[in-house]
Chain A
Amino acid sequence: NAGVTQTPKFRILKIGQSMTLQCAQDMNHNYMYWYRQDPGMGLKLIYYSVGAGITDKGEVPNGYNVSRSTTEDFPLRLELAAPSQTSVYFCASSYSSTDRSYEQYFGPGTRLTVT
């Protein structure tokens, strides 16, 4: 299993540009998440999904959009990029485990700079 994969690894955007961060998992997990992590801070939840076709806002959703058309993929769309969106973005997935851990598996992250 590849686990959770994210592309690209790095990206520089100009203010006002748009892009999509890709996330895929091959573990058949029903839950998926997008987080951002600013320097020296913990992770903040942007959006999450409990299954294909179902998404919901997290703590910091403004400026982002998501879709979940398949179990495997959960892309994050940035519209009209702003310097405040400079961050490292992590995608994660989890499932309903019998040990009730809901252990989240994280991707390697995408480092985004908006200038």
Chain B
Amino acid sequence: AQSVSQHNHHVILSEAASLELGCNYSYGGTVNLFWYVQYPGQHLQLLLKYFSGDPLVKGIKGFEAEFIKSKFSFNLRKPSVQWSDTAEYFCAVFSLSNDYKLSFGAGTTVTVRA
């Protein structure tokens, strides 16, 4: 079955550490890629998105993601995390081959220790 995979279920790190969250998808053809974040007690909100062009995209709060087409990956990075980055992070993919449904990965819980 076609899917979106997030490799890490729970990541714990200290402030100022670098963060990288993996996301792989199995849909062929054109895809639109998203990372969403859900802070404790808050709505899901968009961190960044990729449609086309430069495969390195920058989002809010210092996050960036790199689309590697050959690896079907869209990994999220932040060079130096803060305690306020503690949240759940979701990778999501729109694909024509999936009838343009937005499919989410299982999510990665990130805990940043002060």
Report if A and B associate in a common complex: no
